[in-house]
A = this chain, B = another copy of it.
Amino acid sequence: MDVAGAAGATSDITAETGDGTVIAFFKYNWQVRDEWFAWCEQVSFDELIRARVGGVGSILYTLFHVVDAEGSWIGALAGKPDPKPRFEDYMTVAKLRRLSNEFRTELTPFIEQWTPQWEDKTIEVHWNPGDVFTYGEVVRHVIAHEIHHVGQLSVWARELGLQPVSANFIGRTL
């Protein structure tokens, strides 16, 4: 496998605190997301918002969607109100990167404190009425959700004739 590492965002979170796997995956998603923001700088706005087959439909909306979903789900676990950003207010890479950083600053303390003791705590959220989720499954849902959507971005990048951001976890010293 290609281990071409990627620098990018760093964090004070270490895999030695809390649940190392959960923390490391959030660090991974945040680093990869920042690399996709940088990748977007070479792509025209028209291509970033062009409707594409699969996923949630466009490159920029996919990045908004993963930021929005993380903010809603992890915010809910952290006891914060659903921020409900509107895509039309964040339709540039710069604005979306700022939103991503704001949410990250807001959610990092919760992620840093994540402990397996929270695994079985339960939560209900307004966007899934009638369902009860455990904190553990929500944290893993958010992690897998972004990795899955980034896989879709990688196909669309190749359709544009561009090299996608590396999805490798190894080589990032996370």
Residues of A within 8 A of B (CB): 1, 3, 15, 19-22, 24-25, 28, 52-55, 69, 116, 119, 127-128, 131, 133, 136-141, 143-145, 147-152, 154-159, 164, 167-172, 174
**How many copies, total?**
2
Q: CB-CB < 8 A to A137: which residues of B? A: 24, 169-170, 172, 174
Q: Are B168 and A136 in contact (CB under 8 A)?
A: no
Are A144 and B145 in contact, with the CB atoms below 8 A? no
The distance in angstroms between the C-alpha atoms of A8 and B74, with both chains bound, is: 27
Is B151 a contact of A119 with CB atoms below 8 Å? no
Query: Across the interface, do B54 and A133 meet the contact criterion of CB distance under 8 Å?
Result: no
A83 to chain B, nearest CB (A): 15
Main secondary structure of the interface of A (DSSP, over half): helix
- Extra contacts, 12 of them, besides A131-B171, A141-B170 (Cβ < 8 A), are A1-B127, A21-B25, A21-B116, A28-B144, A53-B158, A53-B159, A128-B170, A133-B170, A138-B170, A148-B154, A151-B155, A152-B154
Residue from A3, A140, A172 with most neighbouring chain B CB atoms (10 Å): A140
Given that A152-B151, A152-B155 are known contacts, is A21 also in contact with B168, CB under 8 Å in the complex?
Answer: no
Chain B residue with minimal CB distance to A168? B141
Kindly list chain B residues whose C-beta atoms are within 8 Å of the C-beta of A53: 155, 158-159
Is A144's CB under 8 angstroms from B169's CB? yes
A52 to B54 alpha-carbon distance, docked (Å): 14
**CB atoms of A54 and B145 under 8 A apart:** no
Q: Is the CB of B54 within 8 A of A140?
A: no
